Amino acid sequence: MKDELSGRRALVTGGASGIGRATALALARAGADVAITHLSHDASAVVAEIKDLGRTAASFQVDLRRSWDVDKAVSDAASMLGGGIDILVNNVGGPVERRAVPAMDDAHWHGVLDLNLSSAFYASRAALAVMPDGGRIITIGAQAASSGGGTGMVAYTTAKAALEGFSRALARELGPRRITVNVVAPGFVAGTPLHAAHTPEPAQRAAVSASPLSRAGAPDDIAEAVLYLASDGAAFVTGTVLDVNGGAYFT
């Protein structure tokens, strides 16, 4: 898919590590200029790699739970990219920590929903102000939305399931503008901050065993799915969830 996205302008939230990093680099290799957001991870190496590919690149430090900060970051990214955003990848998210419902206070509940769900809403709303017709919005969901997730993941699973409904509704709303809206739902992906922090080794081994392919996913596996949905070949794909989990369903 080299140069298939030449001339396109992409914004990847949480693009400094894990799936976001792999996605930003995949889009750049396909010809897109790429801006990324980051908060706690250093984005300088990713920006340098994108520039080494001959693409325009920049990073913006922003807390995507704050709508006013998101509005500014998206506006600044669009300006840097030449006045618009053709591809938005909503990648930011995570469970914060595992917490059972009886021990869950309001702050945890709202914090997890804001990190995973509100962030995608804020970024999508801001991007639509600068996205031309025929654009792409791709959100990173989770297998947990279908399987129910693991112990202590109710808030996270709820947010990821809500993202699927949000994306389907937005796909309907944006259909007249030929803007497609889709979700990529990863299963267990090794080498990401999420699983390093929140998935114990026994659970990681169990996830691999549950896959007919007998391996963990890699960030590049998810990036390739995003790349497809961003391509012209996916112009008739909208309002769908693309499962990328090695065949491990409802585990």
pLDDT digits (tens, 9 = 90+) for 140-152: 999 999 999 889 9
Q: Is 156 a catalytic residue?
A: yes
Q: What is the pLDDT of residue 235?
A: 98
Question: Mean pLDDT for the chain?
Answer: 93
Q: What is the pLDDT of residues 217-247, one digit of tens each?
A: 899 999 999 999 999 999 999 999 999 999 8
Choose, from 122, 156, 228, 249, the residue flagged as catalytic: 156
How far from chain centre, in Å, is Cα 189? Answer: 13
DSSP state at residue 234: G
| Best CA proximity match to 119, nearest among 140, 135, 100, 136 | 140
Task: pLDDT band for 248, please (50, 70, 90 cuts).
Answer: confident
Count Cβ atoms within 10 A of the Cβ of residue 231 and give its class: 0-12 exposed, 13-18 middle, 19 or more buried.
Answer: middle
In the predicted structure, residue 196 carries a pLDDT above the cut 90: no
Kindly list the distances between the CA atom of residue 164 and the CA atoms of 61, 76, 121, in Å, as whole numbers in the listed order: 26, 28, 12
Question: Is the torsion defined by CA of 250, 151, 169, 167 positive or negative?
Answer: negative
Q: Give the CATH class of 9-243.
A: alpha beta
Name the pTM for this structure.
0.94
Q: What is the pLDDT of residue 87?
A: 98
- Label the pairing between strands 136-140 and 87-90: parallel
